[in-house]
Structure 1
Amino acid sequence: MGDYKENIIPHSHSITKSDRVAKNGYQPKVLWFTGLSGSGKSTLASALEVHLHNKDYSTYILDGDNIRSGLNNDLDFSDRSRQENIRRISEVAKLFIDAGVIVLTAFISPFKSDRKSARDLVGPENFIEIHVDCPLEVCEERDVKGLYKKARAGQIKFFTGISSPFEEPENPDIRVNTADDSLEDCLAELIKKIEPKISL
């Protein structure tokens, strides 16, 4: 049968990312929010998207539960599936970048190697890693979705922070502390550091 990949030939289109950047007047980026469950990734990403949308930037949020309800509903939470989850998300984010859209991703993405792979895939110049820093005990106290309680009871396998590790980013592009700082303060910090990176 041969290697089927030999018959895949990507098509070059007339309109390029550079054309879209010139038309839009800003640089599309992947804003990659990483942190424990309950740290505030989705809340912050949503608040930041509202701010950017109101300033006429084209945006889209890729959120963990939403993606796993559709595109990645065939994956579990084993290490291998987590790796594939991040790979697929990275490929989708890369398409958004090419389309000229600022994409905000809110995923635990617990492994350093997977976050590095995501950065490499979309291009380091397009990738902004945001560590939503919040201690496990605070996230567990919040337990917004009741998942920590289930994990402690053994009802959820491979739960990050309990039965699966979270490898904290050592040098994220941006770090915000949602345990000590308010949503408004964290959002202000994000805006201050991100807007110069998307401006032409």
Structure 2
Amino acid sequence: MASVGIRSLSLCKSLDLEYSEALCAKLRPVKVSVFNFTCKKLRISGGDTRSNFLEPIKAMDASKTTSDVNGGCNAIDDFLTTDCDGFPGKSTPKMSTVGNSTNIQWHKCSVEKSDRQELLKQKGCVIWITGLSGSGKSTLACALSRGLHARGKLTYILDGDNVRHGLNSDLSFKAEDRAENIRRIGEVAKLFADAGVICIASLISPYRKDRDACRALLPKGDFVEVFMDVPLQVCEARDPKGLYKLARAGKIKGFTGIDDPYEPPLNSEIVLHQREEKCDSPTHLAEVVISYLEAKGYLEA
């Protein structure tokens, strides 16, 4: 048996001492007798510890001594009855309803977006690249990511097709599913931006209202819309995935630009014009976007 404060704990042939028991014990430096696993007696006198077994207990005791100065908020009983150093007690929290989610509460953390941006030496934002299939959105996204990476900036690409391999694999290309596809990607992009990452979203996103809804998720200025202004005939001539040919043959229904509309942005931050007679390289287009980010201060904390 071992006497610790006002409690007796059995330490012979057992490791049953839980940290929760140690927390509940009123710990004070005392003379302790401990038996090891073969029941041989070990002597621990005052602060002279010949076993590392009670080091966690001693550390907790020291923590309690420190917390007494701050009102004793380190004790388990205090955690259950009061609000101590950010730990919730019996006070009733404000609950919310968001969409179909009820009884939820936003949990705020002391490490915020500004702290993460300072760590990364950049500002989190979303670069939303929109345009017809074959306009070069994914190619630009990769060139942009490569250019920013070379400058020591952290990026992540949310490509329309790639996201449908996992997160959005349950969605079709019906109008309502396309809207949900954009909404989910917008929410994920928002999280990346909040993490301080420069998130590059490249997807057709044909409807203005869906793109505007994603813009509304972020603080003003943190959503940078890049419109790949490439004529349909140029995109169809490229047809990198053979989708236009399938759409023209009637094998794909609701294909953007053929039998479903594309609504070009009205006020994009960046418009990249590509014409059949003049097609700039992806690297050059990426530099245009990078120059915009530099001018707006996104490449520094």
Same fold (TM over 0.5): yes
* C-alpha separation in 2, matches of 1:56 and 1:101: 12
1:194 counterpart = 2:293: yes
Map 1:39-118; keep pairs closer than 5 Å. 39-118=135-214
**Within-5 A mapping of 1:1-200:** 5-179=101-275, 180-183=278-281, 184-197=283-296, 198-200=298-300
Preserved CA contact (<8 Å) 2:134 2:238: yes
Deviation string, structure 1 residues 103-155 (Cα, Å, up to 9, x no partner) = 00001000000110000012332100000110000000000000000011111
Kept in 2, the 8 Å contact 1:150–1:156? The answer is yes
Alpha carbons 2:229, 2:272 under 8 Å: kept: yes
User: 1:5-24, CA deviations, whole angstroms, 9 ceiling, x for partnerless residues?
Assistant: 33211211221101111222
Q: Contact conserved, 1:17 with 1:100, CA < 8 A, in 2?
A: yes
Counterpart Cα distance in 2 of 1:90 and 1:64: 11
Deviation at 1:70, TM superposition (A): 0.8
Normalised by the length of structure 1, the TM-score is: 0.94
CA distance in 2, matches of 1:145, 1:188: 26
* Structure (1 or 2) with the greater helix fraction: 1
Q: Which has the higher Rg, Structure 1 or Structure 2?
A: 2
| Distance in structure 2 (CA, Å) of the matches to 1:123 and 1:155 | 41
Q: SS of the counterpart of 1:44?
A: helix
Number of aligned positions between the proteins: 198
| Partner Cα distance (2:126, 2:227) in 1 | 13
User: What is the SS of the residue equivalent to 2:224?
Assistant: strand
Identity %: 50
Letter in 2 for 1:38: G
SS of the equivalent of 1:122 reads coil
Amino acid at match of 1:84: E
More off after superposition, 119-128 vs 164-173: 119-128
Task: Tell me how far apart the structure 1 counterparts of residues 299 and 104 of structure 2 sit (CA, whole Å).
Answer: 36
TM-aligned CA deviation for residue 54 of structure 1: 1.1
Q: Shift in Å at residue 176 of structure 1?
A: 0.5
- Bigger relative contact order (CA 8 A; separation at least 6): 1
> How many angstroms apart in 2 are the aligned matches of 1:186 and 1:21?
26
Counterpart-to-counterpart distance in 1, 2:295 and 2:145: 16
User: RMSD over aligned Cα, in angstroms?
Assistant: 1.4
CA–CA separation in structure 2 for the residues paired with 1:32 and 1:136: 20
The letter for the 2-side match of 1:42 is S
CA distance in 2: counterparts of 1:27 and 1:148, whole angstroms? 38
Stretch of structure 1 that moved more, 133-142 or 117-126: 117-126
TM-score in terms of structure 2 length: 0.63
Structure 1 residue identity aligned to 2:274 = T
Q: Which runs of 5+ in 1 are unaligned?
A: none
In structure 2, stretches of 5+ residues that fail to align are 1-96
Aligned structure 1 segments of 4 or more residues deviating by more than 6 angstroms: none
State the shift of 1:196 in Å.
Answer: 2.0
Distance 1:72 1:158 in 2: 18
- Name the SS for the 2:266 alignment partner: coil
